[in-house]
Chains A and B, each alone.
Chain A
Amino acid sequence: EAEVAQSPRYKITEKSQAVAFWCDPISGHATLYWYRQILGQGPELLVQFQDESVVDDSQLPKDRFSAERLKGVDSTLKIQPAELGDSAMYLCASGAPTGVGEQFFGPGTRLTVL
């Protein structure tokens, strides 16, 4: 069964360092989402791609976060510099465009900023 792949699964870094997360969506899924989930809360959308284009990045802290999906397949989310408040689970999902169907989530990357 096809799955969304994410790496690394866990990342520990010190504040002010740069971190990067990678996501490979299910083959054929044009829409890719990055979410941030703080412990005890629901996921919050950071950025949504349709192929290689950004559809929604209204909640992405653009002063320190960046995301790209250069060839419309896999994607990278970067944080530079990391802050203590960035500690969270970062989830990648792919699927049909919003309004059509379900999203398929990867296992997530647990980020701890010290």
Chain B
Amino acid sequence: SQQGEEDPQALSIQEGENATMNCSYKTSINNLQWYRQNSGRGLVHLILIRSNEREKHSGRLRVTLDTSKKSSSLLITASRAADTASYFCATDAWGAQKLVFGQGTRLTINP
């Protein structure tokens, strides 16, 4: 079963624009993580935000977390062609002892 739901399922933008992806989840969490997956490859960890944090930055990435709405967003600023990939949120729910991944957002950056 998948706890997280990403929105949109697919996103296509021009290089240089900002990309925003959203994740909603169902139960209380310990932390939420975002991963990137290039086509046919393994996942790469991008950022982890804990339940007591509201915003976190890493380079061109900005993640927000709203535990009252059970939602998170990932913003990629000044997008590049190399950002083309699938992006997944993963939640570590209280008591679950495992990460549960969403369906992912497929991001395409057009040159």
Q: Is A45 an interface residue (CB 8 A)?
A: yes
CB-defined interface of B67-95 with A at 8 Å, one 1/0 digit per residue? 00000000000000000000010101000
Please pick, from B41, B96, B97, B104, the residue contacting A42 in the complex, using a CB distance under 8 A. Answer: B104
Q: Does A103 contact B (CB under 8 A)?
A: yes
Q: Within 8 Å CB of B102, what residues of A?
A: 42
Category for how many chain A residues contact B: 20 to 34
Contact among A44, A99, A102 for B97, CB-based, below 8 A: A99
**Of A11-19, A63-71, A75-83, A105-113, the one touching chain B:** A105-113
Complexed CA–CA distance, A39 and B97 (Å): 25
Interface of B is mostly: strand
List B contacts of A108 (CB < 8 A). Answer: 40-42
On whether A42 and B48 interact (CB within 8 A), knowing A56-B98, A98-B98, A106-B42, the answer reads no
Which of B35, B88, B92 makes the CB contact (< 8 A) with A99? B92
Contact partner, B45, options A42, A45, A103, Cβ 8 Å: A103
Number of interface residues of B (CB under 8 A): 25
CB distance from B42 to the nearest CB of A (A): 4
Interchain CB contact under 8 A, B30 and A42 = no
A45: chain B residues within 8 A (beta carbon): 98-100
CA distance A91 to B33 in the complex (A): 17
Contacts A/B (CB < 8 Å), 29 sampled:
A4-B42, A40-B103, A41-B2, A42-B90, A42-B102, A42-B103, A42-B104, A43-B43, A43-B88, A43-B101, A44-B2, A45-B100, A55-B97, A56-B98, A91-B42, A93-B42, A97-B97, A98-B98, A99-B97, A102-B33, A103-B43, A103-B45, A103-B99, A105-B42, A105-B44, A107-B42, A108-B40, A108-B41, A108-B42
Q: Which B residues form the contact surface with A (CB < 8 A)?
A: 2, 4, 30-31, 33, 35, 40-45, 48, 88, 90, 92, 96-104
